[in-house]
Structure 1
Amino acid sequence: MPQPLVLPFKRIFISGGAGVIGQEMVRLLAALPADIDVLVGDLKPRPANFPARFQYRQGDLNFLTEQEIGVFAPEVFIHLAATFERSTETYGFWEENFQHNVRLSHHLMTVQKDLPSLRRVVFASSYLIYDPELYNFAEVPAQPRSLRETDPILPRNLTGMAKLAHEIELRFLQTYRGAQFSTAIPRIYRGYGRNGRDITSRWVRMLLAGEEITVYGAESFFDYLYAADTAEGLLRLAAAETVSGIINLGTGRARRVADVVAVLKQNFPDLRATYVASDIPFEASQADMNLWRSQIDWLPPTTLEQAIPEIIAFERARLQATAAAKAPGHVLISSVAAKVPLVRAVQAAAQRLHPEMNVIGGDMNPACLAQHFTDDFWQMPATADQNLADIIAQCQARGIGHVIPTRDGELAFWSRHRAALAEAGIAVLVSPPEAVSRCLDKIEFAVFGQEHGLPVIPTALGLDALPAAPGSTGFVVKERHGAGSLSLGLNLPEATALTHAQALQEPVFQPFIQGREISVDAYVDRAGRVHGLVPRTRDIIVHGESQVSTTLTDPALVARLTPLVEKLGLYGPLVLQALLTDDGGLHLIECNCRFGGASTLGIAAGVDSFFWFLQEAAGADLSQYPFRPAAGPLRQVRAAADVVMPAPTPE
């Protein structure tokens, strides 16, 4: 009688954990003691039945950073993530295999190989590595060939090649990191399971739809391994820390394809099947499980007769449930202008969420620069109330489900109509109208700050209305609405300040305070909580924007700023301008309730604004996507770059 599953570690990272094997593994882990922490990463959205206490990272794990996984500090890494096709790989699989098999496996070990927490790596390899001459036959085989770990290898397709490549990489790492973590490489046999893409699940779906199935190679043998057994086997192997290297994982009891059809016939008495002759060789393989038996006190128990009814029940339940969610809507960046770094940041976030999500640039100017970098361009009408119906209709026609406004002058429009847009299935990254108003109006911002105990710099319509400011040597004059950098007069004597004000449309006055100016990139979630915040210095300023900016690693300052930002009632990304004085004072200048020109540095430092917005729009709880600040200071230098691209073909 096998012993119950017991894991000697607490923190487990599973790549590809929303797949067939991964979901079975999560079910097993959820039944274990509650002090086990699990982080699952996958391209697919978080499955609805995943335990709330498990962390989930949706997106392309090729973009997982060492800092991000280091915060989780996994003790065990179980690498399931992989892409594959059916028996014959298509021409287009060439690049997909490299990105999501070869490159991904290499990257995931690159960001984890030096983590002091890592004790164990389990890589789900494949029996496809063995030389097919061992188990492929021109004639109907009488019995299956048992493949041993020491048998010759010759991967029969790109997937097998990728598995072998990473096996060799892990062998290399063991030379240098063997004292830090051990590695087990199970070569897994013919998998099938609930919600699978395998032929068994496909046949079940066809039979439930009343269709006829087509059977090739009915006499072939495969070692069918149920996904639930695979998951348990991998966890037991992970727990056996002294077991390392290559080891087979199968049942050791191959069955013919005809056996699968026979079990289906027991569950579908009216089954109709067409048996087709094929020039594809007959396969007859199974795992030699002698090494496994000697190391692990457990063998996969589930037979075809037990598993297939479970798969049928699962597929029936899925048919009765609501249809699977469609790919999320595309992203519109309105007033895209020349905001190329912003476009690239949004594209990176969109691709992490869903590979089919496009980024559309919108602008009234048909010649705007950024259109050359977006997936599509829309020459938009003005963001005016009379155009709302047309804008909604155009968004729906273009498949747009998300809007990111980028210009102060349009924020009020998008905010005012965000409820109507939400009813149309369009999420807008914008704060409530009252919060937008107080950020755009410097008088309103100052009054709000005074009423709520915020350390705002006094602001008035006239010099005589300004209170005395200790240490002030002059005055600041700026426009009341919009970006404060426009027509800014800085540290002006009284007479000069009054003269400068005459050139402005609606001037406001502030005392000039000597100090170090900082910008603060932050993201406020839908519950009004700061989800991430990074202050940065403004080292070189050109036209009011930071040309060179450096993040500040100052936990005390972050703790000081966080409650102040939360009092502003904002949602989404923001840029707070403030001054730090030599006496330890903090003075708030103004707040822009949108993504700033240099806020891409904030993303690099951990304030993942666009990805968090897309996750919230999809209904995710951001507690599953924690803020992971950069370990040290980062500097951003904004410089122009030439980009050469193929020219469009003349029509």
Structure 2
Amino acid sequence: MPQPLELPFKRIFISGGAGVIGQEMTRRLATLNADIQVLVGDIKPRPVDFPAQFQYRQGDLNFLTEAEIADFAPDLFIHLAATFERSTETYGFWEENFRHNVQLSHHLMTVQKDLPSLRRVVFASSYLIYDPALYNFTEVPAAPRSLRETDPILPRNLTGMAKLAHEIELRFLDTFRAQQFSTVAPRIYRGYGRNGRDITSRWVRMLLAGEEITVYGAESFFDYLYAADTAEGLLRLAAAETVTGLVNLGTGRARRVAEVVDVLKQNFPGMRAKYVASDIPFEASQADMTLWSSQIDWLPPTTLEVAIPEIIAFERARQDTLAATEASAAKGPGHVLISSISAKVPLAHAVKNAAKRLNPGIKIVGGDLNPQALGFHFTDESWAMPMTTDEHLSAIIGHCQTQGITRIIPTRDGELAFWSRHRAALADASIAVLVSPPEAVQRCLDKLEFSTFGQENGLPIIPTSLSIDTLAGDQPNPNAAFVVKERHGAGSLSLGLNLPYAAAVAHAQTLSEPIFQPFIQGREISVDGYVSRSGRVHGLVARTRDVVVRGESQITTTFHDPQLLARLTPIIEKLGLYGPFVLQALLTPDDGLHIIECNSRFGGASTLGIAAGVDSFFWFLQEAAGADLQQFPFRPVAGPLRQVRMATDVVVAV
């Protein structure tokens, strides 16, 4: 009787944990010691039944940073993440294999190899590494060939090549890091399991639908390894820290394809199966488990006769939700609309970069009234969209649903009220919008209301009035100076700055709806930040406005002032914002803080905020996918950064 599984690890990072093996593994880990902490990273969304106590990070792990994984500090890394194709690899798999097999494996070890916490690495390799001449035959094989770890290797496809490449990388690291962590690469045999993409699961789904199945190579042998057993085996191998290098993981008992069909017949007596001849060689392989058995007191116990009824029961149980799941999958990863894109090229690049980190399949759609908008040249698709007015709401929602757009990023002050007002209707259509609640949007758009809110709540917002005399008093100070601007919109475009009383009154005559503020001499700064769905400030970066052109920072530099940011945090949270914002303020020599205004959207120079750590668009995409931003903490970049905004030429082939 094998001993119960005991893991000598407390913090486990699993890549590809939303796959068939990964889900079995997380379910198994959830039954073990409650002290175990698990972080799963996967490009797919969090599975519905994923253990609530474990952390889940959705996104392309090629963008996982050393700082991010160091925060979790794993002592065990189980690398399951991989991409593959069902049988013959297509021409298009060339790039996919490199990015999500070769490059990903290399990257994940790069960001972890120097972590002091890491003690053990388990890499899910494959028997596809062995020379196929050992187990492929032109004639019907009489018996399977047992493959040993010492047998010749010659990967039979790109997936096998990628597995071998990382085996060699781990062997290289052993030369330098063996005293820090141990590595083992189990070569896994023919996997199948619940919710799988393997032929067994596909056959079960077809039979449940009353369809005929097609059987190729019925005489071939495969070492069928149930995913639940694979997960158990990998965890037991992880616990056996003295086992290193290469080791087979299979049952050691190959079964013919015809036997799989026989088990299906036992469960579907009326099934229809068509046997088709093929020019594909017969396979006859199984794992030689001698090395495994000499070091691990456990062998995979689940037979086809036990596993297939479990797969059938699983597929039957999810029939009610299967159609909805497939319909959702057919819609793709959910695309992003940037509305009023105009010439906001740096913003488009920033959104593209964020989306790529979450899922490379996400498309960025530029939307604008102008069919010749410059930004259209820098998005995946373009949409000459209607005006953002109430009568066009249904058409906008309909277009988004047809095009698979599930997230919208407004970029213009004039449209914020529209998107905010219809947030609920858009949410009902499964469309998330990066916009604050209506009252917060209105508060930021109306400079008088913004100031009044500040006065009522004890916030250091510069006093604002419709009447200059309210500020000047009955006996105006002849040395007093004022600021005059429009009540709504971009006040800097018609700004009257540092004006004496008479000049301020005269300038007001040139404006549509002027407001007055006292002129305060100080250093003007901008603060880029992001407020999460919970209403908490998730990240703040302050920057000086070194050169300002038409109200936007042409040259701007970040600076580090923890006391200032700590002072600003509760102020910002009182404003009731959601998502990115830009706060403008003055700092005076007497340690005074005077807030000028707040834009409840991503600003023109806010790309510097992203570079400095305020990862606004990635955070939005994660929240829209249901993630808790505690999984993505704010990590400010050390040292000041300067951004110079400039025009540049782009030449493309047409």
Q: Same fold (TM over 0.5)?
A: yes
1:536 to 534, 537, 543: 543
Count of residues in Structure 1 that have an aligned counterpart in Structure 2: 646
Shift of 1:26: 0.7
Cα pair 2:193 2:201 within 8 Å, conserved: yes
Shift of 1:43: 1.4
- State how far apart, in whole Å, the 2-side matches of 1:286 and 1:616 are: 45
The range that moved more, 210-219 or 325-334, is 325-334
1:332 aligns with 2:344: no
1:95 aligns with 2:100: no
Shift of 1:467: 7.2
The aligned counterpart of 2:623 is: 616
Shift of 1:627: 3.6
1:343 to 345, 348, 351: 348
Q: Letter of the aligned partner of 2:373 in structure 1?
A: C
SS at match of 1:331: strand
The aligned counterpart of 2:36 is: 36
The range that moved more, 545-554 or 401-410, is 545-554
Alignment of 1:370-449 (within 5 A): 370-449=375-454
The aligned counterpart of 2:368 is: 363
Shift of 1:143: 1.9
Q: Which runs of no fewer than 5 residues in structure 2 stay unpaired?
A: none
- State how far apart, in whole Å, the 2-side matches of 1:358 and 1:582 are: 48
Deviations 1:465-506 (Å, cap 9, x if unpaired)? 237999x98433332212343233444444444444443333
1:516 aligns with 2:501: no
The range that moved more, 516-525 or 142-151, is 516-525
The aligned counterpart of 2:567 is: 560
Deviations 1:574-625 (Å, cap 9, x if unpaired)? 1111233333332222100011112223333333322333333344444444
1:220 aligns with 2:227: no
SS at match of 1:225: strand
1:585 to 579, 583, 592: 592
The range that moved more, 325-334 or 559-568, is 325-334
Deviations 1:618-649 (Å, cap 9, x if unpaired)? 444444444444455544333333222221xx
Q: Letter of the aligned partner of 2:12 in structure 1?
A: I
Shift of 1:191: 0.7
SS at match of 1:402: strand
1:188 aligns with 2:195: no
Alignment of 1:252-263 (within 5 A): 252-263=252-263
Deviations 1:516-544 (Å, cap 9, x if unpaired)? 33322222233322233333333443332
1:7 aligns with 2:7: yes
Deviations 1:202-225 (Å, cap 9, x if unpaired)? 111111111222222222211111
1:266 aligns with 2:273: no
- State how far apart, in whole Å, the 1-side matches of 2:109 and 2:346 are: 29
Cα pair 1:385 1:413 within 8 Å, conserved: yes
Cα pair 2:463 2:518 within 8 Å, conserved: yes
1:569 to 542, 567, 576: 576
1:452 aligns with 2:448: no
- State how far apart, in whole Å, the 2-side matches of 1:21 and 1:396 are: 33
Q: Letter of the aligned partner of 2:458 in structure 1?
A: G
- State how far apart, in whole Å, the 1-side matches of 2:23 and 2:579 are: 32
Distance 1:175 1:556, change over 3 A: farther
Distance 1:32 1:578, change over 3 A: farther
Cα pair 2:480 2:501 within 8 Å, conserved: no
SS at match of 2:653: coil
Cα pair 1:540 1:547 within 8 Å, conserved: yes
The range that moved more, 102-111 or 618-627, is 618-627
Q: Letter of the aligned partner of 1:546 in structure 2?
A: S
Shift of 1:463: 3.5
Cα pair 1:56 1:625 within 8 Å, conserved: no
Shift of 1:355: 4.2
The aligned counterpart of 2:135 is: 135
The aligned counterpart of 1:162 is: 162
SS at match of 1:636: strand
The aligned counterpart of 1:200 is: 200
Distance 1:555 1:234, change over 3 A: farther
Distance 1:510 1:380, change over 3 A: same
The aligned counterpart of 1:318 is: 318
Q: Letter of the aligned partner of 1:47 in structure 2?
A: P
Shift of 1:102: 1.3
1:603 aligns with 2:610: yes
- State how far apart, in whole Å, the 1-side matches of 2:87 and 2:395 are: 48
Cα pair 1:116 1:180 within 8 Å, conserved: yes
Q: Letter of the aligned partner of 1:172 in structure 2?
A: F
The aligned counterpart of 1:505 is: 512
SS at match of 1:321: helix
CA RMSD in angstroms comes to 2.4
SS at match of 1:219: coil
Cα pair 1:578 1:589 within 8 Å, conserved: yes
Cα pair 1:55 1:625 within 8 Å, conserved: no
1:526 to 522, 533, 552: 533
SS at match of 1:485: helix
1:478 to 485, 501, 505: 485
- State how far apart, in whole Å, the 2-side matches of 1:582 and 1:3 are: 70
Cα pair 1:473 1:513 within 8 Å, conserved: no
Cα pair 2:14 2:39 within 8 Å, conserved: yes
